[in-house]
Structure 1
Amino acid sequence: MLEHQEDLNDLQRRFPILIVFVILTFLILVIRIGYLQLIKSSYFRELSESNRLRSLPIEPYRGLIFDRNGELLAHNVPGFHLSIILEDLKNKEATIKRVTELIGISEKDIKTRLSARKDTYPFAPVRIKENISRKEVAVIEANKLDIPGVVIEAVSRREYRHGNMASHLLGYVGEITQSQLDNFEDDSVYPGITAGQDGIEKTHDPILRGIAGYKQVEVDAYGHEMNIFGVKEPVRGNDIYLAIDASLQKIAEDALGNESGAVVAIDTRSGDILVMASHPVYDHNLLSKRLNAKEWEALVNDPSKPLNNRAIQGVYPPGSVFKIVTAAAAIEAGAPAPEDRIFCKGGLQYGRRFYRDWKAAGHGSVALHRAIVESCDVYFYNAGITLGVDRIADYAFRLGLGSQTGIDLPSEKAGLIPTTSWKLSARKVEWIAGETLSVAIGQGYVLTTPMQLAMLISSVANSGVRYQPNTVWAVKDRLNGEKYRFPPVEIGRVEIKEETFQILRNALRGVVNEQGGTAGRARSAIAEIGGKTGTAQVVALKPNIPKELLKEKRFKDHALFVAFAPVSEPRIAVAVIVEHGGKGSAA
């Protein structure tokens, strides 16, 4: 009780001190508010009225891109952009004219870029020229008092270390588009920030981009920065390690050379994309600098279509590669059985049309194994008649054709596997029996991408195990330095018996390694390879087309080749197409 009384007395002695402290704190706040409102009010009113207090974004450093072995593919280098802040312009027309005189960009280009700015982003710099030279920086700085509202932004510029290698896979970056801005609901992006526009740069932009910072600044009447009141530092983007092997990628691209086409290589044990080459390439270093309207139009209208990633967007008749599908359907149905022999004398009369074999003299008496090894068309014409188009289509769908593979790249095409119902719906006519013969050898309406064909041969090598195709091997967190590996993802198993896959693999081994095989040129002393050639017809044989004209490269057939190795324990699957390359063995 005595101790309680002493505590109470002590509290009563301290209570007046507490009251004095509260009163003093209150007085200090009142004085400060009075100072800001009465004495400094004109200063802050002036800042507000002249829009001199601003919150400016700080763009983060973009994450780096490596190959699976740590070879640097994409990094950042210092650069400068020339921009205009519309709200700071004193005389818009005079400023535009003066900038044109100083750095040579046309008035039309400047006005086009300024007109694209939305009013929802006040004081956002509108970029009018990317990656200006140091000489241009010096010229602008020397004349900055004459061009209020014109600012130079110090930025990090994307650079691709190996030139145009893997340009379609890596993609390119550029100033964020309005449609991209509209798709973000938070403040992680803003006008002028760099964003991925194609390839890995686009699909994995959230990983690479980082988090923007901000700074509170005071600017003068010309929009030039004077004082910094506060800074929130940006967070650098994370690094990406791609699944590709840069050395293999270079070999594939060198092999394609000046030819148009594509090469895809997959690790059969994981779905990792080891190679993705598409030719002709585009210059992603140039595209990341932003082209003017005339340059962009010329690129889009280029007849060689360099912007098209042929690995996933190019659709081609698979030719004799599709015989793998027809063979699988025939083995499973037992019609014809693998041991049944068909005599080939260079073609097959079916109805009123004669269907030619690629070998005019014919292949003689062949069963399934030699029909695949020698790529006998007549054998597969007969198989097609027995099976029917819908049964062939069923096995094509099982093996992943006719739909997107799900690869993490933009604008993948699904290709086309025709059925009787498809033709009735799409063409409004019934299926013609003779069309099945064309489908059986991968011609007619059948369309596939090189990526799909790589997945097809990988599934055969794997006894039907299908993995999600994966372009990213790992991501490195820049905050903690940890590297997170992307594990293989099994997406399903093809409903085909193991015995069927064994028959197919043995025949595909024969295509490369047996006498008379169509891919004997691919034989290797390093590893035993199994594969299948294909020739995709570009122009139908018509009597009114001059033979001399058909000799031109543009009329030559496309050459295809799919393969896996080693046959006994597959580790890699490859699909190659060379446009207008002639026979499939050329691939």
Structure 2
Amino acid sequence: MTDLHSPEIQLIRFRRRVYFAGAVVLVCFSLLFARFFWLQVVRHDYYATRAEDNRIALLPVTPNRGLILDRNGEVLARNYSAYTLEIQPSRVSNLEHTIDELAKLVNIEARDRKRFRKLMEESRNFDTLPIRTRLTDEEVARFIGQRYRFPGVEVRARLFRQYPNTELASHVLGYMGRINRRDAARIDEAGVADNYRGTDHIGKAGLEQFYEDELHGVTGFEQVEVTAAGRAVRVLSHTAPQNGNNLRLTLDAGLQRVVEQAFGERRGALVAIEPSTGGVLALVSKPTFDPNLFVDGIDAANWEALNTSADHPLLNRAIYSAYPPGSTFKPFMALGALTAGKRTPSFAIADPGHFEYGGHLFRDDKVGGHGSVDMHKSIVVSCNTYYYRLAADWGIDGIAGFMSQMGLGSRTGIDIEGESTGVLPSPEWKKKRFKRPEQQKWYAGETISVGIGQGYNAYTMMQMAQAVAILANDGVVFKPHLVKQIENVRTGASRQVEPKPVRTVDLKPEHIAVIKQAMVDVNKAGTGARAFAGAPYVAAGKTGTAQAFSLRGAQYRGGKLAEKLRDHALFVAFAPADDPKIALAVIVENAGFGAQSAAPIARQVFDYYLLGNKPAGPAPEDSDATDSE
């Protein structure tokens, strides 16, 4: 019988165990060596790159946004640096608790919380969002001392946009806002996502939006060596950002102030153009707004106030809102009739105070009429009957064809977004506008109202100002523009926006002279005479009144109507009449007669621009002024 406890058997068993353990160790070491070989030899380049990436962080360096200056060098939009307290929601487990704890260190108001929630809805979860901006040095120090308690929260130095004149030219400048999902998608589609790394804001409206590519600049980068905890040790390399280009405008900030002050609390719009270049000297939409409200992300209370206001302060009335031109349309009707051979300057009618067409009576504002009326008198006294008859003789196709040459009913191409086309009525337009066949038919009676600037007529003040500038410039058409030159701050070079004639309307000098002289006499002896009494320069103009709603044959009694139903007051003009330096169109909403409310604003504009006279307050309303329209 074999002894299991014999030394020989135990030695054999021990050797087997040693061999087995050795084999296991050998296999393990072989696996470790194979893995080591795979990592260190086969995948060396890949992991070396990963290690280098962990050691080196590539940080974006945001460029300074370009400045916006008026034609005389006054700064209208600039930048400033401030500390912000920012939270990355994806790294914070209990957001409300974190904000409550932060509020013990830094003043966080209810509006800050509301704005933060609004930004969260518009942004991606991994974005860092500001809970407080413009921290004081003391607030920064208090947070830094407790920073370890708040993972996902940090203080950053940011550049912010500032509009030092608050509401001045707000519809021209536009505003900046945080990049939302829609903006990010648009940036990705344009292939410029890398250039927006580290950038939180983008132009949302006005020049800030239209010239975003010029103003933004080129983002720079820093290679920074960091520890395993992510703390920067040293800068390895630096690629400097290229600051955005500055915009120098055609706009005159002083003139813009005069216009905005002249309106006072009234609603409306004014556009003033330099006829010889197309440069926009003033572009005003009232009421205005403060673009600084949008820089940090507008809070709910201010957004609600702006968005629900009955006066619609965010609406750019100068380029978007289209109004009936009223009697300011008459000089263009007269010029077109001369050009088309439908009238001569001496052709006169006997005005009985009305015009009958198709069994309908179209009335003049002056009971009993104006007597014998030729073209000159028709403009000076603003005789409706003359233009009722002219429209009937000329026809809608002829009217629409000429007015389109004057730029009415089409976008001017000004360099800000949001311009509307307005409405130049014609049979073709009506077919596109209405769906039912009975609505699409053009009736001859509709042409009669078009002739006095009513009916379907609707144009922006930008279009009206351009039309006046074309007349003042003897038919030469320039594209309206707001930017005069683009300045490269690095090289000092500048690109001029060269004014070039777009086209020329075929007008005879003798015809232009007839219309200009009649418009001069409007301000000497006609409906604009009271507003321009004593002016040391000669200005040409035309007053207008446009209905805000149809009277349906009733007599207009402005004092008995609700304010929103009263007529709009309009005025178009240029000066000096013999060598025009400025042409404008102005509307004051629901203000009655053009001579009463709109012409006094134009007088203040001309007095400032031509004489340097600064008005003491808003343009007064002439309570005794009337229009014969």
List per-residue Cα deviations over 1:415-449 (Å, max 9, x = no partner): 00111122133223211221111110111111101
Q: How far apart, in 2, do the equivalents of 1:524 and 1:406 lie?
A: 37
Q: What are the equivalent positions in structure 2 for 1:26-41 lying under 5 Å apart?
A: none
Q: Deviations over 1:121-143 (max 9, x none)?
A: x6x53344444455543443343
- Tell me, yes or no, if structure 1 residue 79 matches structure 2 residue 86: no
Verify the 8 A CA contact 1:126 1:192 in the aligned structure 2. Answer: no
Please give the alpha-carbon distance, in whole angstroms, between the structure 2 residues aligned to 1:72 and 1:179. Answer: 30
Cα drift, residue 163 of structure 1: 2.3
Residue 295 of structure 1: CA displacement? 3.2
How far apart, CA to CA, are the structure 1 residues paired with 2:114 and 2:253?
42
Q: What amino acid sits opposite 2:417 in the alignment?
A: P
SS in 2 for 1:183: helix
Q: Say yes or no: does 1:290 pair with 2:297.
A: yes
Q: For 1:552, give the aligned amino acid.
A: A
Which residue number in structure 1 is paired with residue 27 of structure 2? none
Alignment of 1:2-151 (within 5 A): 48=54, 54-86=57-89, 88-89=91-92, 94-99=97-102, 102=106, 103-104=108-109, 110=116, 113-114=119-120, 116-118=122-124, 124-134=127-137, 136-151=139-154
What pairs up with 1:424-573 in 2 under 5 angstroms? 424-427=431-434, 428=436, 429=439, 430-513=441-524, 515-523=525-533, 525-542=535-552, 550-573=560-583
Superposed, 1:371-382 pairs within 5 Å as 371-382=378-389
TM-superposed deviation, 1:176: 2.4
Matched, 1:231 2:234: no
Q: CA deviation at 1:544?
A: 8.9
SS in structure 1 at match of 2:297: coil
Counterpart in 2 of 1:19?
none
State the SS of the aligned residue for 1:155.
strand
Identity level (%): 37
Q: Out of 363, 379, 382, which is 2:370 matched to?
A: 363
Q: Tell me, yes or no, if structure 1 residue 166 matches structure 2 residue 169.
A: yes
CA distance 1:146–1:565, shift in 2 (3 Å):
same
Instruction: Render the CA deviation track for 1:45-66: whole Å, top value 9, x for unaligned.
Output: 6994xxx854332221111111
Aligned to 2:17: none
> CA 1:77–1:354 in structure 2 vs 1: closer, same or farther (change >3 Å)?
same
State the distance in 2 between where 1:53 and 1:149 align.
21
Structure 1 pair 546–509 and aligned structure 2 pair: CA distance change class (3 A)? closer
Q: CA RMSD in A?
A: 3.0
Cα distance in 1 between the residues matched to 2:66 and 2:426: 46
Query: Is residue 350–residue 372 contact of structure 2 (8 Å, CA) maintained in 1?
Result: yes
Preserved CA contact (<8 Å) 2:325 2:546? yes
After superposition, the Cα gap between the structure-2 partners of 1:278 and 1:558, relative to the gap in structure 1 and judged at 3 Å, is same
Which stretch of the first structure deviates more once superposed, 429-438 or 380-389? 429-438
How far has the Cα of 1:219 moved from its partner?
6.4
Q: Which moved more, 1:454-463 or 1:59-68?
A: 59-68
SS at 1:475 equivalent? strand
* More displaced 10-residue stretch of structure 1: 381-390 or 132-141: 132-141
Q: In the alignment, is the contact (CA less than 8 A) between 1:96 and 1:110 conserved in 2? A: no
Distance of aligned partners of 1:398 and 1:289 in 2 relative to their CA distance in 1, 3 Å threshold: same
Change in Cα spacing, 1:354 to 1:136, as seen in structure 2 (3 Å) is: farther
Corresponding position of 2:201 = 194
CA distance in structure 1 between the aligned counterparts of 2:520 and 2:420, rounded to whole angstroms: 30
Q: 1:483 to 1:276 in 2, by over 3 A?
A: same
Distance 1:420 1:558, change over 3 A: same
Could you say if the C-alpha distance between residues 527 and 199 of structure 1 is closer, same or farther in structure 2, counting changes exceeding 3 Å? same
Shift of 1:339: 1.5
Q: Deviations over 1:117-174 (max 9, x none)?
A: 447xx6x533444444555434433432111111222112222222211111111112
Deviation of 1:100 (Å): 5.8
Per the normalisation by structure 1, the TM-score is 0.85
TM-score normalized with structure 2 length: 0.80
Code of the aligned partner of 1:62? R
For the Cα contact (< 8 Å) 2:113–2:131, is it kept in 1? no
CA change 1:405–1:115 in 2 (3 A) is closer
Q: CA deviation at 1:523?
A: 4.6
2-structure distance, mates of 1:224, 1:63? 32
CA displacement 1:198-223 (0-9 Å, x = unmatched): 11111112111111122344667887
Residues 545 and 531 (structure 1 numbering): CA distance in 2 closer, same or farther, change over 3 Å?
closer
- Structure 2 letter corresponding to 1:432: Y
Query: Matched residue of 1:521: which SS?
Result: coil
Distance (Å, rounded) in 2 between the aligned partners of 1:529 and 1:283: 34
Q: CA deviation at 1:507?
A: 1.4
Query: CA separation of 1:154/1:349 partners in 2, compared to 1, >3 Å: closer, same or farther?
Result: same
Aligned partner letter, 1:189: Y
Q: 1:99 to 1:246 in 2, by over 3 A?
A: same
Q: After TM superposition, give the deviation of residue 536 of structure 1 in Å.
A: 0.9
Distance 1:268 1:112, change over 3 A: closer
Match of residue 248, structure 1, among 240, 252, 255: 255
Partners in 2 of 1:305 and 1:320 — Cα distance?
26
Distance 1:46 1:365, change over 3 A: closer
Q: Report the Cα distance in structure 2 between the residues aligned to 1:308 and 1:77, rounded to whole angstroms.
A: 28
Larger Rg, first or second structure (1 or 2): 2
- Specify whether residues 533 and 328 from structure 1 end up closer, same or farther in structure 2 by C-alpha distance, changes over 3 A only: same
Shift of 1:108: 6.5
CA contact (8 A) 1:315 1:448 kept: yes
In the other structure, the counterpart of 2:284 is 277
Q: 2:160 aligns with which of 154, 157, 161?
A: 157
Distance 1:578 1:224, change over 3 A: farther
**1:277 Cα deviation (Å)?**
1.4
Name the aligned partner's letter for residue 210 of structure 1: G
Report deviation, 1:505.
1.3
Q: Partner residue of 1:299?
A: 306
- In 1, distance between residues paired with 2:229 and 2:325? 63
Please say if residues 558 and 567 of structure 2, whose CA atoms lie closer than 8 Å, have aligned partners that are also in contact. no
Larger CA deviation: 340-349 vs 404-413 = 340-349
How has the CA–CA distance of structure 1 residues 91 and 538 changed in structure 2, closer, same or farther, with 3 Å as cutoff? closer
SS of residue in 1 equivalent to 2:77: strand
| 1:346 matches 2:353 | yes
- C-alpha distance in 2 between matches for 1:117 and 1:568: 57
Show CA shifts across 1:346-373 (max 9, x none).
2223334322212234211101110011
Contact 2:61 2:198 in 1 (8 A): no
d(CA) in 2 for partners of 1:129 and 1:347? Answer: 67
The residue identity in structure 2 corresponding to 1:450 is M
How far apart are the structure 1 equivalents of 2:321 and 2:136? 38
1:116–1:424 distance in 2 versus 1, CA, 3 Å: closer
2:266 to 259, 262, 271: 259
* More displaced 10-residue stretch of structure 1: 94-103 or 392-401: 94-103
The change in CA–CA distance for 1:257 and 1:548 in structure 2 (over 3 A counts) is: closer
Contact preservation (8 Å) 1:510, 1:517? no
Structure 1 counterpart SS, 2:571: strand
Q: Distance in 2 between matches of 1:54 and 1:149?
A: 18
Q: Deviations over 1:393-425 (max 9, x none)?
A: 111101000000000001111100111122133
Cα distance between partner residues in 2 of 1:91 and 1:516: 73
In the TM superposition, residue 259 of structure 1 has moved relative to its aligned partner by 1.0
Deviates most, 522-531 or 397-406:
522-531
Q: Distance in 1 between matches of 2:505 and 2:179?
A: 41
